[in-house]
Amino acid sequence: MRILVSNDDGIDAEGIGALAEKLREIGEVTVVAPRTEQSAVGHKITMKNPLRVTDYKKNGKFFGYAVDGTPADCVKMGIRNILHKKPDIVVSGINHGSNTAINTIYSGTVSAAREAAIMDVPAIAVSITSHDPAQFDTAAEIVNKLVLLVVKHGLPTGTCLNVNVPDLPREQIKGVLLTKQGTSKWDDIYEERFDPYGKKYFWLTGVLLETDKDLDRDQCAITNNYVSVSPIHFDLTDYETFEKMKSWQIENIG
């Protein structure tokens, strides 16, 4: 089995090291990841600047290819110009910090998996719920089992899995739940500050308002110490509103 690995925390992050090491137990791993941290870049792709690819070593040994672009760039580039063929699966992560609810759309980790899905390659995005994770082993073990399940069952073109794992020792995980993207979102605050020259600037901060109450929602599942597995796709159409809008008679404005 050929596995392409990427992330958004950058090729030097601990999470991608733990992930690649574990996946080597079940397949041939190629790492293509951003040279620098690309958190919250969403599904950004690089069109107006050239990309460069360089070999990256960890502990003096070749680890993978560093691309000075985004996670989605890495997946496109990895499949088109490095592997020169489709891998059996793409795995993105292990992200330092959860990617649930509204964060799913901001996440570079998730976008790497989604880009693979668009290219008709099964994919998994995996995140740990802590920004300073201690339990990479738990997440890596879960991922390996999920990879085998995905390869066995397949996924439709355009669909990938968004997996979030509590930062807990294996025995404290309550179980694995199939979930939907939650609706929890941020109450954003832009903190106003002044630079040493007296000019104002703003830092984005805020709190996630945890509005999800059911265990079949990703955010609620991880809060209750379950692993969350959500199938997501790239079709943004709101079909319910599509039906309702037929009564708007928008053809009349043409």
Region 135-174 residues binding its own copies, contact defined as CB under 8 A: 142, 145-146, 149, 153, 155-156, 158-159, 162, 173-174
Which tokens hold the place of 217?
A: 């929602």
Exactly one of 14, 21, 131, 178 binds its own copies (CB under 8 A); that residue is: 178
Using CB under 8 A as the binding rule, whether residue 175 contacts its own copies is answered as yes
Helix (H, G, I), strand (E, B) or coil at 94: strand
Given the structure tokens 């989605």, which residue do they identify? Answer: 72
Candidates 19-27, 42-50, 88-96, 126-134: pick the segment binding its own copies (CB under 8 A): 42-50
Using CB under 8 A as the binding rule, whether residue 53 contacts its own copies is answered as yes
Separation between Cα atoms, residue 25 and residue 23, nearest integer Å: 5
92 Cβ neighbours under 8 A, 6+ residues apart? 5, 6, 7, 8, 71, 75, 109, 110, 112, 113, 116, 123, 124, 125, 126
Please state the φ and ψ torsions of residue 11, each to the nearest 5 degrees. Answer: -65, -20
Exactly one of 130, 180, 210, 215 binds its own copies (CB under 8 A); that residue is: 180
Using CB under 8 A as the binding rule, whether residue 16 contacts its own copies is answered as no
Using CB under 8 A as the binding rule, whether residue 102 contacts its own copies is answered as yes
For its own copies, the closer CB: 60 or 154:
154
Q: What's 217's DSSP letter? A: B
Helix (H, G, I), strand (E, B) or coil at 59: coil
Exactly one of 73, 109, 128, 212 binds its own copies (CB under 8 A); that residue is: 73
Exactly one of 6, 7, 98, 104 binds its own copies (CB under 8 A); that residue is: 104
Work out how close the CB of 59 gets to its own copies at its nearest, in angstroms, rounded to a whole number: 26
